[in-house]
């Protein structure tokens, strides 16, 4: 399998964590020391661990992939800052195969959830110019406010993979974004469900931080950020199995790999799409198998 490059666009990523040792590409913004390390911000490091942790204490979805950290500190306060667009373009220009954006506009409405022109242009650039014209695979969180993705200009942008959450029973948590733009879901916690309340992920935390009383790792990462990270990892597996795929073809493979969840209540339409679950829950093992190039069928000789 080829080695894929996964860009994490987030408020900060501790790229010196031992789980990523030997697999970090110099990130954005370029710095001499501690390139994108910021121990005050844990979210990006949590996301990176779900996808890329190398197996020292936890193992990510693609433990051999390369990490391209893209630190956008403004994301800790708001979306829409020009630096998010600069980071996205940087990722596309510096080898990203998959770009994971495990964030969303908080409580979006028609105004606060609108996609700024500079970010729209950057997403277009990633989706069409990235990977030498094959397009970067861009994955966005559906958000944790239970709103219609029609109000979220980021996750609903054409070509983007919007990821929501399902709980351990394969049902919709009230917090997870929903709607026509939802592509798929991945398992995460559900505070309203007794069995799913504490079903969070164990992942990397910034070195030396005492967030949640833990150092190096945390056991408390969930919601649609974790779901987004899982699907970004699956997309990286797809491209590792077949690097020739375009971004649109990766989306198609991901869709084909999905299992329907909550079939009775999911309101799936004739396309197999549900407003609560998209096309369903991707199968981590089946997705890269579906992506592998098909052998050419030789025509039978004419007799």
- Active site members: 10, 43, 225
**50 vs 82, 150, 194, CA distance in Å?**
27, 28, 24
How far apart are the C-alpha atoms of 2 and 32, rounded to whole Å?
Answer: 29
56: nearest Cα among 230, 216, 219, 209: 216
Q: Which two tokens stand for residue 110?
A: 């028609």
Q: What angle do CA 1, 233, 78 make, to 5 degrees?
A: 145
Respond yes or no on whether the N-terminal peptide bond of residue 289 is cis (omega within 30° of 0). no
Cα–Cα distance measured from residue 75 to residue 204, given in angstroms and rounded to the nearest whole number: 19
Q: What is the distance between the alpha carbons of residues 77 and 80, in angstroms, rounded to a whole number?
A: 10
Residues 6 or more apart whose Cβ sits within 8 Å of residue 22: none
Q: Is 249 exposed, middle or buried (0-12, 13-18, 19+ CB in 10 A)?
A: middle
Tally of residues, the chain: 303
Residues 155, 147: Cα–Cα separation, whole Å: 12
């Amino acid at each position: 399998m080829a080695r894929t490059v996964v860009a994490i666009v987030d408020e900060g990523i501790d790229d010196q964590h031992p789980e990523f040792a030997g697999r970090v590409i110099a990130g954005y913004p370029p710095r001499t020391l501690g390139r994108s390390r910021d121990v005050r911000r844990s979210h990006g490091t949590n996301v990176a661990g779900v996808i890329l942790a190398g197996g020292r204490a936890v193992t990510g979805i693609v433990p051999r992939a390369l990490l391209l950290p893209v630190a956008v500190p403004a994301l800790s306060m708001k979306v829409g800052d020009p630096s998010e667009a600069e980071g996205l373009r940087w990722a596309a220009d510096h080898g990203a195969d998959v770009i994971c954006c495990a964030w969303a506009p908080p409580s979006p409405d028609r105004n606060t959830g609108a996609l700024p022109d500079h970010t729209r242009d950057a997403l277009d650039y990633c989706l069409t110019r990235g990977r030498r014209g094959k397009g970067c695979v861009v994955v966005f969180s559906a958000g944790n406010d239970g709103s219609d993705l029609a109000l979220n200009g980021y996750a609903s942008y054409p070509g983007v993979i919007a990821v929501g959450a399902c709980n351990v029973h394969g049902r919709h948590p009230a917090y997870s974004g929903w709607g026509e733009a939802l592509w798929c879901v991945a398992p995460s916690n559900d505070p309203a469900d007794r069995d799913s309340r504490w079903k969070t992920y164990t992942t990397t935390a910034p070195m030396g931080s005492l967030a949640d009383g833990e150092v190096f790792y945390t056991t408390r990462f969930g919601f649609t950020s974790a779901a987004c990270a899982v699907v970004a990892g699956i997309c990286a597996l797809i491209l590792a199995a077949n690097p020739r795929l375009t971004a649109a073809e990766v989306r198609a493979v991901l869709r084909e790999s999905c299992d329907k969840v909550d079939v009775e209540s999911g309101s799936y339409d004739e396309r197999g799409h549900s407003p609560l679950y998209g096309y369903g829950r991707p199968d981590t093992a089946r997705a890269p198998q579906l992506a592998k190039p098909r052998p050419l069928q030789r025509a039978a000789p004419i007799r």
